[in-house]
Amino acid sequence: MPVEEVHTALGPGGEFDLIRRMLGAWGDRAHGLGDDGALLDVPPGSRLVVSTDMSLEGTHFQLDWLALEEIGYRAVAASLSDLAAMAATPLGVLIAMALPATLAPRVEALAIGVGEAAALGRCPIVGGDTTRGDRLCLAVTVLGHARTPVRRAGARPGDGLFVTGRLGAPGAALSALRGGGVLSPAVRSRFAHPVPRLDEARWLADAGITALIDLSDGLASDVRHLAAAGEVAMTVELDRLPVVEGVSALEAARSGEEYELLAAAPASLDVRAFEERFHLPVTRIGTVTATGSVPVTFLHRGVRVDPGMGHDHFSR
Ligand SMILES: [Mg+2]
């Protein structure tokens, strides 16, 4: 075993006791912690892909919405989804945490969720930081590698727009949680356990997609990012959106934190081969066109509509 796969022994102190408890929850899901930095190898010919994402109590979640395991899982899954959006393979996860003193006795629960998401990404936890804070905050950095990363820019007029999975459950979950309503088990499960589409993204990259983004703000916003990056226009036919039961196409278009993929690809993309491989739908929902007066046109029952924007922390 290379030396960096073994944890360096930790010194004494309350913070290190917390870290020891997290290490206990992670077992062999953590590699090489306890040194000042993590040592990782990027395969020859591949580029390093890095992304960071913050999950803050009161802004991104409320403690009474989810179990601590789920909060830890979602924070890491959301970050891994950004690696998927680059068609990258995860190398490691770093987690920096501000922890209220009242939650310190339950830090293992958070760690278990973090470990579950790292295991799903088939990558170790390689570092982090723990500090006391007034609100729970998880800042997750993910490292990955890609030989042929796919970027937001690259969509070409004539390409189709394709989305994975079925949309709408996280939006429905948030409305219910904010309004005091009840979540169906299916909606709750999609909200609490989003799945970063890592293998699916690499399959799509191999199949020749031209641009890729993950749906974190909601399709209505993310499709505009894809159009802007590619300096092209896009038309989305909302009636084609694959939606979960009980959610309208417009609600699904605004639903954020989906962590599904939106790709531009030649219209010949082999949808059936994807669905056979992953048992997950991939649906053509629109077309890339040359730049026009409107960057993105949304059609609903043949009529132009404005679904509004998805989530934006700084919108007014
Ligand atoms: Mg993203």
CA–CA separation, 274 vs 127, rounded Å?
35
CA of 94 to the centre of ligand 1 (A): 17
Residue 76 is predicted with a pLDDT of 98
CA of 254 to the centre of ligand 1 (A): 15
CA–CA separation, 305 vs 291, rounded Å?
19
CA of 44 to the centre of ligand 1 (A): 26
Residue 4 is predicted with a pLDDT of 47
CA of 141 to the centre of ligand 1 (A): 13
CA of 150 to the centre of ligand 1 (A): 12
Q: What is the mean pLDDT of residues 104-122?
A: 96
CA of 218 to the centre of ligand 1 (A): 10
CA of 119 to the centre of ligand 1 (A): 20
Tell me the angle at which helices 14-26 and 107-120 cross, rounded to the nearest 10 degrees: 40
Instruction: Output the six-digit token pair for 123.
Output: 């990558």
Q: What is the pTM of this model?
A: 0.93
CA–CA separation, 112 vs 118, rounded Å?
10
Chain CA centroid to CA 243, Å:
18
CA of 313 to the centre of ligand 1 (A): 14
CA–CA separation, 38 vs 30, rounded Å?
11
CA of 5 to the centre of ligand 1 (A): 30
Q: What is the pLDDT of residues 45-57, one digit of tens each?
A: 999 999 999 999 9
CA of 3 to the centre of ligand 1 (A): 34
Q: Percent of the chain, pLDDT > 70?
A: 95
**How confident is residue 139, by pLDDT bands cut at 50, 70 and 90?**
very high
CA of 196 to the centre of ligand 1 (A): 11
CA of 85 to the centre of ligand 1 (A): 6
CA–CA separation, 72 vs 109, rounded Å?
8
Residue 315 is predicted with a pLDDT of 59
The phi, psi pair for 241, rounded to 5°, reads: -60, 130
Report yes or no: 191 and 170 within 8 Å, Cβ to Cβ: yes
Q: What is the mean pLDDT of residues 268-273?
A: 98
CA of 211 to the centre of ligand 1 (A): 13
* Residue 44 confidence (pLDDT) above 90: yes
Residue 11 is predicted with a pLDDT of 76
CA of 12 to the centre of ligand 1 (A): 39
Q: What is the pLDDT of residues 204-263, one digit of tens each?
A: 999 999 999 999 999 999 999 999 999 999 999 999 999 999 999 999 999 999 999 999
Collapsing DSSP to helix, strand or coil, 161 comes out as: strand
CA of 13 to the centre of ligand 1 (A): 37
CA of 136 to the centre of ligand 1 (A): 22
CA of 90 to the centre of ligand 1 (A): 15
Residue 127 is predicted with a pLDDT of 93
CA of 185 to the centre of ligand 1 (A): 26
Residues 6+ apart with CB under 8 A from 97: 110, 128, 129, 130, 131, 136, 137, 138, 139
CA of 226 to the centre of ligand 1 (A): 11
